[in-house]
Amino acid sequence: MLFKRIISIITILNIYLCFCNVAFAKEVSQNTNKEFYRYTLIYELGHVFTLGHPNASCLYKSIMQPSGENGDSKKRSNEITLHDAYGVYNAYKNPKNRSNTNRTREIPKIQILHSEFNTQIKNINDVEDMAQCIVKAKVLESENMPEGGMYTETDIEITDVYKGNLNVGDIVTIVEAYCTTEVGVEMRTDGYSASTPGKEYIFYLGTQFDDGTYNVFGTVFGRYPLEDTQALNGEVDTIEANIIEECVPLYNQLKEEVMNKYNKN
């Protein structure tokens, strides 16, 4: 199974980390920064495993995040992450497994990644203070980006602006915290799933990257559908049904605040 393979990769690499700790304990003096050498060795080992640097739009922490001006210190990890392990798996997976029906059935259709936003956000003011832009927008089309950082780029057309320097009619690209891998596994952060083309949402946009794209701030806490599907046909909106259980109470609280403030028409 995909998950077991990823865990196996993490285990193997962490065994190598233990070896590194022992090696450096013997070779590096007490006055030398062992953690720096340890990190550097694992970082370079990642390149040996064909891992590159995460691009600017990547939402996840990685030991492959470069230091200095070319990197993002907030996204750099001193430990091997699930994102790194998946990158190794993706580089070395056996192509024959794609056509093996029995093996394909073993692969989970959905993998959930977890952020810490549900512990960092208390109310809608926390989201609004940290968001760079707050907009109402219609979803146009999406492009799956599994290789660069397990995310999806989605074009949206701005229909109203509540905060920030965007204008009505602008078409911008946002980075959403989900993607579908080459083997058909959907990766969702906090249960964040695909926005529906043609539908309007309230989006809380965070960082604008060098390529002009914006990330959706707070994963599931940064997007709210305007159409009340439950009231229309007795069913919960698909994106809301996919949110992981521990995020649902806060999401419902924030959605009520958002609807009362921005969806009065």
* 92 and 195 inside one domain: no
- Among the candidates 81, 108, 135, a domain finishes at 108
The β-bridge relationship of strands 214-216 and 171-176 is: parallel
**What are 184-241's pLDDT values in tens digits?**
788 888 888 888 899 999 999 998 888 899 989 888 999 999 865 443 444 455 777 8
* 148 and 88 inside one domain: no
* 239 and 175 inside one domain: yes
**What are 34-43's pLDDT values in tens digits?**
666 666 777 6
**What are 70-102's pLDDT values in tens digits?**
667 676 677 777 667 766 666 665 444 444 444
* 126 and 216 inside one domain: yes
For residue 223, the domain's CATH number is: 2.40.50.120
Cα 82 to Cα 85: distance, rounded to the nearest angstrom: 5
* 47 and 123 inside one domain: no
- Among the candidates 89, 108, 127, a domain finishes at 108
The model's pTM? 0.58
**How many CA atoms lie less than 13 Å away from 9 in the CB half-sphere?**
21
Cα 158 to Cα 156: distance, rounded to the nearest angstrom: 6
pLDDT of residue 103: 44
pLDDT of residue 100: 46
- Among the candidates 75, 108, 141, a domain finishes at 108
Structural domain for 97, as ranges: 2-108
Could you tell me the CA-to-CA distances from 175 to 105, 178, 244, 248 in Å, in that order? 30, 9, 20, 22
* 186 and 100 inside one domain: no
* 90 and 153 inside one domain: no
Cα 62 to Cα 85: distance, rounded to the nearest angstrom: 10
* 229 and 122 inside one domain: yes
**What are 158-172's pLDDT values in tens digits?**
999 999 999 999 999
**What are 246-256's pLDDT values in tens digits?**
888 999 999 99
* 139 and 253 inside one domain: yes
* 54 and 143 inside one domain: no
